[in-house]
Amino acid sequence: MDKNFEILFGANKNVNSIAVDNYDKFTLENKRNNLLEYDVRNVLSVTEVFEAERQGTEVYRIYGGIEYLSILNGLDENYSELVNFFQPFYCTGGTCAFKDIYDSFNFYLVRPFTGYTNIELDESAYIRQFEVIATPDDFDLFNAGYSKNVYNEDKFEFMFTKDFNVAGMVDEFGFPPTELYLYAQYNPATNSNGSETMKRREWGEVSGETQISGYTPTPLIVGDVIQGDKIDYFPDTFTQMPLEDAQYYIRTKYNYAWGSRWLQWKYNPFIPFKLRYFSQELRRANTGGTSYDQSTNIPYYATDLGDGNYVWRDILKQGYIDPLTGNGVEYPFVNKRRYLFSNVILNVVPDLDDLWTKVVFNQISFNDPIVLDHNPINEDIDDIGKPCK
């Protein structure tokens, strides 16, 4: 109902001013109504909310431990003779000039990326590419307290200082990442006998044959792309299988009785962090003849085989371990992040496929094995379990 009001400014108000009612009147009624249960009570399951958040989150915080196992660890930077490779260098007079994990490597985090190289003579073989998603600026490395390994060498701990959201990430074939990789880039030393040099394994784009080529490591930034490993890809079964790992080679020069020589060492620079697993069960669907419900259940990463045919494998839920294969992960979930812990072994070994390196290490001799005394049980079966005589 419309009402007309006459407004009178305060300066003009007096005892004879017009009385205006500025309030709407309403009537209060006292009426009983039944309260329905769903209006006053809502059952909240904390477990269900936690599980929904855990499965819906694809954010990871990565940390763990590293053991650097190599003859090169702790050696003097200047290899003047062969014995320098077998005698760790210790600080003298406050001067420490030896190679350890801190000055030997830069650590990055990388993921499988697009731009794979197909090998012409093998239609299923590809050379993977990796994209840098974290640099040494995002990586903390420190000694693990007073921890030592079986060789009485220091153990280390690491942590990436930022989170990694893998939601929506895919590789060349549309696969969501099941692994991220720690990329350990070696820093060649410079010394009076000649700087260390590096090579790496590569593959011919036509034949796919292995070839060893010179390689110079350079600082990387987020978004840079580097060559990875060699894989087989089978779209019909939604499968990627590793064929050959990436391999880096370190060449170290020293003085020998017959002149200057080189030793060659090798290691795989890509160390995987397992995020999750695909199910062993292969799933198929055709959008032309299936129901709407089935079509909408096709995941975004399914492989399109053409003519409306799709194939994929489900990603195993966090916390589920396949009883047949043992595959599955159970990472702590706190503050909307999955905390992935990994123990890493960084292993740089002599390359015995290199002729001169093999010659040198074949000169290393060991004493005859020690035969342990033993007292086999040759008495009556009743003596089994009794103290030895």
Taking only the tens place, the pLDDT of each residue in 234-285 is: 999 999 999 999 999 999 988 776 678 889 999 999 999 999 999 999 999 8
CB 132 within 8 A of CB 218: no
Phi, psi at residue 375, to the nearest 5°?
Answer: -125, 85
> Who has greater pLDDT, 281 or 25?
281
Q: What whole-number distance in Å separates Cα of residue 232 and Cα of residue 159? A: 32
CB 69 within 8 A of CB 152: no
Residue 165's Cβ-side half-sphere holds a number of Cα atoms within 13 Å equal to: 5
Helix (H) or strand (E) holding 281: none
- Identify the band that residue 206 occupies on the pLDDT scale cut at 50, 70 and 90: confident
Taking only the tens place, the pLDDT of each residue in 193-203 is: 777 899 999 99
Share of the chain above pLDDT 70, in %: 82
Supply the pLDDT for residue 380.
64
Helices and strands (H and E) in the chain: how many:
5, 20
DSSP letter (8 states) at residue 361? H
Supply the pLDDT for residue 181.
98
The pLDDT mean for the chain works out to 85
The pair of three-digit structure tokens given for residue 154, joined into one six-digit string: 């220091």
Q: Which range is most confident: 120-124, 150-154, 188-192?
A: 120-124
> Who has greater pLDDT, 97 or 321?
321
What 3-state DSSP class applies to 38?
helix
Centre a 10 Å sphere on the Cβ of residue 217 and count the other Cβ atoms it contains: 16
Residue 18 predicted with pLDDT over 70: no
Supply the pLDDT for residue 360.
87
Taking only the tens place, the pLDDT of each residue in 344-375 is: 999 999 999 999 999 888 877 666 666 666 55
The pair of three-digit structure tokens given for residue 90, joined into one six-digit string: 């210790």
Supply the pLDDT for residue 294.
59
What 3-state DSSP class applies to 102?
helix
The pair of three-digit structure tokens given for residue 74, joined into one six-digit string: 């702790």
Segment 309-332 mean pLDDT: 92
- Identify the band that residue 183 occupies on the pLDDT scale cut at 50, 70 and 90: very high
Q: How far is CA 95 from CA 142, 158, 189, 255, in A?
A: 20, 26, 17, 24
Centre a 10 Å sphere on the Cβ of residue 220 and count the other Cβ atoms it contains: 17
Segment 106-120 mean pLDDT: 93
Rounded to two decimals, what is the model's pTM?
Answer: 0.80
Supply the pLDDT for residue 20.
59
Centre a 10 Å sphere on the Cβ of residue 196 and count the other Cβ atoms it contains: 21
- Identify the band that residue 19 occupies on the pLDDT scale cut at 50, 70 and 90: low
Largest CA distance in the chain: 130
- Identify the band that residue 37 occupies on the pLDDT scale cut at 50, 70 and 90: low
Find tokens 């205006």 and name the residue: 20
